[in-house]
Amino acid sequence: MLRRLPSLLLTAACAFALTAEAAKPVLGSGIDLQYMDKTVRPQDDFYRYVSGKWLASTEIPADRARYGSFDLLRDRAEVHSRAIIEEAKADAPAASEERKIADLYASFMDQATVAKLGLAPLKGEFARIEALADKREIPALLAHLVALGVNVPILPSVDQDARDSSRYAIYFSQGGLGLPDRDYYLKDEDAKLAGIRAEYAKHVADMLKMAGEKDAATQSIVELETALARLQWTKVENRDPVKTYNKVALNDLGGVIAGYDWPQYFAAAGITDRVGYVIVRQPSFFAGLAKLIADTPLPLWKAYFKWQLLDAYAPYLDERFVDADFAFSGKTLRGVAENRPRWKRGVELVEQSLGEGLGRLYVARHFPPAHKVRMQALVANLLAAYRQSIETLAWMGPETKAAALAKLAKFNAKIGYPDKWRDYSGLEFKREDLVGNVLRARRFEYDRQAAKLGQPIDRGEWHMTPQTVNAYYSSRMNEIVFPAAILQPPFFNPAADDAVNYGGIGAVIGHEISHGFDDQGSQSDGDGNLRNWWTEADHEKFRALTKALVAQYAAFSPLPGYPINGELTLGENIADNSGLAITLKAYRISLGKRAAPLLDGFSGEQRLFIGWTQVWRGKSRDAETIRLIKVDPHAPMIARGTLPLMNQSAFDRAFGVKAGDKMFVPPEQRISIW
């Protein structure tokens, strides 16, 4: 799914009320009553009915492009992280994570030293690029730059082999664009995108001029990126796990990019003896890149690499570069008025560089064991609901059902934090060397990833830190992961009756489980291997349902002229609709034979649906809305809080939605997958 401490997350209705007769807590409704606008009919606009007063009264903070429930929780996690970081002792043992945290944060906050150093920490890297004497040396340079976190045309990554999840493989993906997506370069008919492209060219020129690169052909750099954009696959094409799996033996890599010195590349990357094959995600991009390398003059490639290096490290240079970088990436690209305070950016750097070291301290302070126990019960009920749903699906045949149940039985749920914490003993930070610290941290992570090659799969690894407000499903691990920081209101409220929790974190659990059966996840089996385990007849029925879902979301425009890309967001839209449908079933399982209590005038199922929409409360600036529509596989918040409800017959019953109401969808047009 991203900072002020949110004082409004818990309402009076959510608090524990202890009676004189007993110390047993009385659970509240969990509904943010003060934000509801009851002048709006829930049957016409449920999103505003639940959050209308919040939408009317809340301004997006000047340092944000969007703001909502997720951001409120991120604010809280950020404040908690800041306290931990600022309490870290500078005199702690040099090898301790506490000392590393203190030194890294201090290096970021020491603006005087950063200003004094200027561009000096990057001079060696600029000199390395300038020394490029022949295009045949480009492979070694790309391998070096990518290890430093620089965005170059060839981006390697290490992950499980999608067709053999028992081993790690190296993937090669397209890259190298300075703007968010190829559409920003290629959609000439879109005046907003054309305007951003013109500002980008000016930004590149200004930044390189400040760096002393007076002769850099900045317009040519943008033209080179435009040529890269023409070769790139679209976001929708990249969602296809079969088309993006192209296994190539090392000896055959010469056919991927003609004339490219792969042995030189692998030697510079330090992985020559660790791989026997690679997986190329976009073969046509790499084939086209060969001609582009040949046709583009070496001086332009050098200017381009210098720009990408400068862009990657601008946030860690003196204020001239920080301000110029924000003026484009924040104001122009996302519509943000002010940069975030320096302490927030410092916390972010610690998160990026020592995430689990900070996370270990965060969990000790902010994640009670009782939260994990209650989450485990929620997960168990959600899995039971999925089993029931699979067994009774009308559109899925017996053969596919058996395979689906087998996959579900192998699901693993990780809650809160890892069982084993990451080792940062090889990572060094210096209090007066911010850029050097970032270089070392990025190289450390690159080496950590490369070291996986040839090793057994680490099934205990987490790809999010405990203090991250998010969750994910991994098809190759066949696991769902819920970091500690998301287990707070409005997602999970230990002081609330279960209905709102099922509408919040329960739907998130259901959402993540469903990714194992969406248009992408359904192509991997219970062991995480990419293979077809569906009958063709069931695939056809599933495609018909998903085609209708694409059309439903594509008809929704959160901003005039910018409809949702129903194909790009399909997987997340399947997950939202499935998660809501399944969490309702799981809530009914949790009740057993008990009747749900009436709280704050709402029934259990009404509170569940309110809990769902509370989660998606949010606002976004127009420029950010456009950017997200282009690059984000998630639909905008208003769509997520609205459209899934309209596919639920139980929602109509709960709120008396009838034909003629704006929230009404005829039963035959409702899309029910799970």
pLDDT of 448 strictly over 50 = yes
Query: How much is the average pLDDT of 657-664?
Result: 98
* pLDDT (0 to 100) of residue 27: 81
Give the dihedral of Cα atoms 402, 407, 408, 413; nearest 10 deg: 170
Which 3 state secondary structure label does DSSP give 6?
coil
Spatial neighbors of 582 by CB under 8 A, at least 6 apart, are 382, 385, 386, 389, 510, 513, 514, 674
DSSP tally for the chain: helices H, then strands E: 27, 9
Which pLDDT tens digit goes with each residue over 227-284? 999 999 999 999 999 999 999 999 999 999 989 999 999 999 998 778 899 999 999 9
Average pLDDT, the chain: 93
Write out the DSSP string of 544-579: HHHHHHHHHHHT--SBTTB---TTTTHHHHHHHHHH
Return the CA Rg of the chain.
26
Number of CB atoms found within 10 A of residue 348's CB: 17
Quick one: DSSP state of residue 297? Answer: -
> Which DSSP helix (H) or strand (E) runs through 415?
strand 412-416
pLDDT category at 7 given cuts 50, 70, 90 is very low
pLDDT category at 25 given cuts 50, 70, 90 is low
Cα distance between residue 284 and residue 518, in whole Å: 27
Quick one: DSSP state of residue 599? Answer: B
Sole residue written with tokens 């409702």: 670
pLDDT of 215 strictly over 80 = no
Cα distance between residue 313 and residue 121, in whole Å: 10
pLDDT category at 16 given cuts 50, 70, 90 is very low
Query: How much is the average pLDDT of 512-519?
Result: 92
Domains and CATH numbers, the chain: 12-82+346-669 (3.40.390.10), 120-316 (1.10.1380.10)
Q: Reduce the secondary structure of 231-294 to three states and give it as a string.
A: HCCCCCHHHCCCCCCCEEEHHHHHHCCCCCCHHHHHHHHCCCCCCCEEEECCHHHHHHHHHHHH
Is the separation of the CB atoms in 229 and 182 below 8 Å? yes
According to DSSP, the residues that pair with 277 across neighbouring strands are 249
Which 3 state secondary structure label does DSSP give 214?
coil
pLDDT of 158 strictly over 90 = yes
Provide, rounded to the nearest whole percent, the portion of the chain with pLDDT above 90.
90
Residue from 426, 388, 423 nearest 408 by CA:
388
> Which DSSP helix (H) or strand (E) runs through 98?
helix 97-109
pLDDT category at 219 given cuts 50, 70, 90 is confident
**What does the block give as tokens for 274?**
């660790």
pLDDT of 398 strictly over 50 = yes
Query: How much is the average pLDDT of 606-635?
Result: 97
pLDDT of 355 strictly over 50 = yes
Is the separation of the CB atoms in 66 and 534 below 8 Å? no
In angstroms, the first-to-last Cα distance of the chain is 22
**What does the block give as tokens for 132?**
């490029």
pLDDT of 12 strictly over 80 = no
> Which DSSP helix (H) or strand (E) runs through 138?
helix 138-147
Sole residue written with tokens 């007063």: 53
pLDDT of 634 strictly over 60 = yes
Cα distance between residue 379 and residue 514, in whole Å: 13
Write out the DSSP string of 602-665: B-HHHHHHHHHHHHT-EEE-HHHHHHHHHH-SSPPHHHHTTHHHHT-HHHHHHHT--TTSTT--
Query: How much is the average pLDDT of 279-296?
Result: 97
**What does the block give as tokens for 353?**
């560089």
Cα distance between residue 516 and residue 270, in whole Å: 34
pLDDT of 216 strictly over 90 = no
Is the separation of the CB atoms in 67 and 60 below 8 Å? yes
pLDDT category at 519 given cuts 50, 70, 90 is confident
Which 3 state secondary structure label does DSSP give 593?
coil
pLDDT category at 4 given cuts 50, 70, 90 is very low
**What does the block give as tokens for 637?**
């918040």
pLDDT category at 20 given cuts 50, 70, 90 is very low
pLDDT of 18 strictly over 90 = no
pLDDT of 23 strictly over 50 = no
Write out the DSSP string of 15-59: S-B--SS--PPBPB----GGG--TTS-TTT-HHHHHHHHHHHHPP
Q: What angle separates helix 218-231 from helix 283-295, to the nearest 10 degrees?
A: 150
Question: Quick one: how far is CA 148 from the chain centroid?
Answer: 21
Which pLDDT tens digit goes with each residue over 79-111? 999 999 999 998 999 899 999 999 999 999 999
**Total residue length of the chain:** 674
